[in-house]
C-alpha cells in the first residue's frame, strides 16, 4: 500500500508543542491549502480552501515550534492517518490528519518567527531522530515509532 500526501499551504494557527512522558516532542498545527478552480462567470479566479490538521514528531516538531507561526507558508510531505474515538454520548467519530515526515519552510528570509526572532532563510527538516535516539534513513524507510492514542491526545 502507498500512503503519501504532499501539501503546500499556510498555517491557520500557531504551533502547539507538547512532550510526552517518554520525551517525544509532538507539534500540532492547522494548514490551509488553496485549490485553484479556474475563473468564475464574472472572470474572477475561483478557489476552494481545504483545512488540514497536521502532526509532527521529534526534532521536526521542535523546529516547527521554533520557526513556524500562523500565516507562514510551508510544504508538508507525509502520510494520512485516521483517528477514531467515541464521544461521551456514545457516537463514533473519526477524522483524517496528516502525519508530516518532512517540512520545508517556504517563506522568504528575514520574516519574523513565532518567538519574534528573525529567520535567516528556508529550512528543511525531517524527523531523523526517533524516541530512542536512533537515526532513520534519509528516504524515511525506517518507521518512526507510532505514538499511543494517549500520546496523540
DSSP per-residue letters across 19-81: E-TT--EEEEEEEEEEEEEEE-TTS-EEEEEEEEEEEEETHHHHHHHHH--TT-EEEEEEEEE
Q: What is the pTM for the complete model shown?
A: 0.67
The residue to which cell 464521544 is assigned: 87
> Using CA atoms, how far apart are residues 102 and 94, in angstroms rounded to an integer?
24
- Average pLDDT, consecutive stretches of 10 residues, N- to C-terminus, the chain (153 residues): 94 96 96 89 88 96 93 95 94 95 80 47 45 35 38 44
Q: What domains are defined for the chain?
A: 5-37+45-133 (2.40.50.140)
Cβ atoms 114, 68 nearer than 8 A: yes
Pairing of strands 92-105, 45-57: parallel
Residue 144, C-alpha cell as written in the block:
518512526
pLDDT recorded at residue 108: 63
Helix then strand then coil, % of the chain, to nearest 5: 10, 50, 45
Amino acid at each position: 500500500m502507498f500512503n503519501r500526501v504532499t501539501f503546500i499551504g499556510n498555517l491557520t494557527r500557531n504551533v502547539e508543542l507538547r512532550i510526552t512522558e517518554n520525551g517525544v516532542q509532538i507539534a500540532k498545527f492547522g494548514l490551509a491549502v488553496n485549490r485553484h478552480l479556474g475563473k468564475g462567470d464574472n472572470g474572477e479566479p475561483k478557489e476552494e480552501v481545504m483545512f488540514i490538521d497536521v502532526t509532527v514528531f521529534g526534532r521536526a516538531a521542535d523546529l516547527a515550534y521554533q520557526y513556524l507561526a500562523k500565516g507562514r507558508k510551508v510544504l508538508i510531505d507525509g502520510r494520512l492517518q485516521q483517528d477514531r474515538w467515541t464521544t461521551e454520548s456514545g457516537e463514533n467519530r473519526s477524522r483524517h490528519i496528516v502525519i508530516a515526515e518532512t517540512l520545508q519552510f517556504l517563506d522568504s528570509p528575514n520574516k519574523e518567527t513565532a518567538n519574534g526572532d528573525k529567520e535567516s532563510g528556508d529550512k528543511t527538516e525531517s524527523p531523523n531522530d526517533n524516541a530512542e535516539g536512533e537515526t532513520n534513513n534519509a528516504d524515511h524507510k525506517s518507521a518512526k515509532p507510532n505514538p499511543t492514542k494517549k500520546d496523540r491526545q
